[in-house]
Amino acid sequence: MRRAALALAIVGLSVAAISWSAPPLAPASEKAGLAAFETVKAVLQNPRCQNCHIPGDAPLQFDAGLTHAQGVLRGSDGFGQSGLKCSTCHGAVNPPPSYGAHVPPGAPGWRLPPEH
């Protein structure tokens, strides 16, 4: 008898939880939320993010998201494979403007983010 009562109570709570929905947002809050999401979306879809936050082990490059030249791969530590580490081309800082356009950018510890 106790088990049956407990089971009915659990089912009742489950149905109540499923049928509950959040109250609607005020129009101003909804607009602010959508605007905030657009900002986040723009960042996450930026080519500079998508070139390294990738499925697989081959980074992309340029705004067009082309396969990285030289056959670069993540490597076990994210810093590139033996013989072709990221630091081979990507220094700790950006090169000076006198190097010209289209040189590899730099940053301390240049690497791919951890695998997902």
pTM above 0.75, yes or no: no
Q: For residues 39 and 85, give the distance between their C-alpha atoms in angstroms, rounded to a whole number.
A: 33
Q: For residues 29 and 33, give the distance between their C-alpha atoms in angstroms, rounded to a whole number.
A: 6
Length of the chain: 116
Instruction: Tell which residue, 86, 64, 89, has the closest CA to residue 75.
Output: 86
pLDDT confidence of residue 3: 52
Instruction: Tell which residue, 35, 90, 85, 32, has the closest CA to residue 61.
Output: 90
Pairing state between β 80-81 and 66-67: unpaired
The amino acid that residue 99 corresponds to is Y
Instruction: Tell which residue, 51, 113, 116, has the closest CA to residue 77.
Output: 113
Cβ atoms 103, 90 nearer than 8 A:
no
Instruction: For the chain, 116 residues long, give each residue's pLDDT as a single digit of tens.
Output: 455 444 444 444 444 445 556 677 677 888 899 999 999 999 888 888 889 888 889 999 988 899 999 999 999 999 999 999 999 999 999 999 999 988 999 999 999 998 86
